[in-house]
Amino acid sequence: MRLLVVEDEKKVARFVKKGLEEEGYAVDVAPDGEEGLAMALDGVHDLLILDIHLPRMDGLGILQELRKKKVATPVLLLTVRAAIEDKVLGLDAGADDYLTKPFAFQELLARVRALLRRRAEAEAPVLQVADLTLDPARRLASRGGEKIDLTSKEFALLAYFMRNPGRVLTRTMISEHVWDYDFDTMTNVIDVYVNYLRKKIDAGREPKLIHTVRGAGYVLKAE
């Protein structure tokens, strides 16, 4: 899962980014409202964590613009305000949840998980290619009825493959959806993770599902 944090307080942004990355999420950070809106409109993020008080464009303005453009990405609002009226204003603008500063990271994490789970349940109950199945809501993977244990990054990579069966995914496409804007596409990290998946998904099983397309990238398909 790839998340976007729009937060101008550098200390808070670093704290949230570090904690979420330790949980296996890819995290981008925008320091102001205008940059945050531009990044949110890219459509590559699964969740937006949005501070209300931002320079150049406030959080409510970003939220209203996203909803006006039919961007349905879940939004978790952060604010120092605790008044009921402010919470109602944010939720009415299209926010999915609300968290008041200061907050415990575990509470932020629980809310993030809940929003992502809700989205997964709404989008796709179960993904399947051949005898490989993936349940995004329950974060379960299996092949031929046998459970497959995946790390958070492996799960995100497999989910991206299974949402695009038969489509050749380039390394750039994979990095944009599974890693973050700071990812160095010149490294072999993507190839390493694809090989991790191959060992868990294809080793000792037929048909092979993950294929290399020379000079292009990778594709998930049953041949």
Over the stretch 34-47, which tens digit does the pLDDT of each residue have?
Answer: 999 999 998 888 89
Is residue 110 domain-shared with residue 164, that is, in the same domain?
no
Domain end call among 74, 102, 122: 122
171 and 202 belong to one structural domain: yes
β-partners of residue 143 are 132, 146
| CA distances from residue 73 to 70, 147, 154, 210, 219 in whole angstroms, order as listed | 9, 30, 22, 29, 26
pTM of this structure: 0.68
We report the CATH number of the domain holding residue 17 as: 3.40.50.2300
Q: Residue 187 has which token pair? A: 């490294």
- Does 180 share its domain with 114? no
Percent of the chain whose pLDDT exceeds 70 = 92
Pairing of strands 26-30, 2-6: parallel
Banded pLDDT at 124 (limits 50, 70, 90): low
114 and 11 within one domain? yes
pLDDT in tens, 154-191: 988 998 999 899 999 998 888 878 876 666 767 889 99
Same domain, 117 and 130: no
- Is 189 exposed, middle or buried (CB count within 10 Å of its CB: 0-12, 13-18, 19+)? middle
pLDDT at residue number 181: 66
Number of domains in the chain: 2
Residue-number span of the structural domain to which 172 is assigned? 124-220
| Structure tokens that stand for 166 in this block | 């038969």
Residues 106 and 139 in one domain: no
**Angle at which helices 152-162 and 189-201 cross, to 10°:** 80
Q: Are residues 25 and 109 in the same domain?
A: yes
pLDDT in tens, 141-150: 999 999 999 9
Please check whether residues 101 and 112 belong to one and the same domain: yes
Co-location of 92 and 132 in the same domain = no
Buried b / exposed e across 8-31, counting CB within 10 Å, b at 16+?
beeebbeebbebbeeeebbbbbbb
- 87-104: pLDDT as tens digits: 777 888 889 998 988 899
211 in helix, strand or coil? strand
pLDDT in tens, 182-221: 667 678 899 999 999 999 999 999 999 999 999 899 999 9
* Pair 8, 52: CB distance under 8 Å: no
Are 12 and 63 part of one and the same domain?
A: yes
Q: Is the pLDDT of residue 83 over 70?
A: no
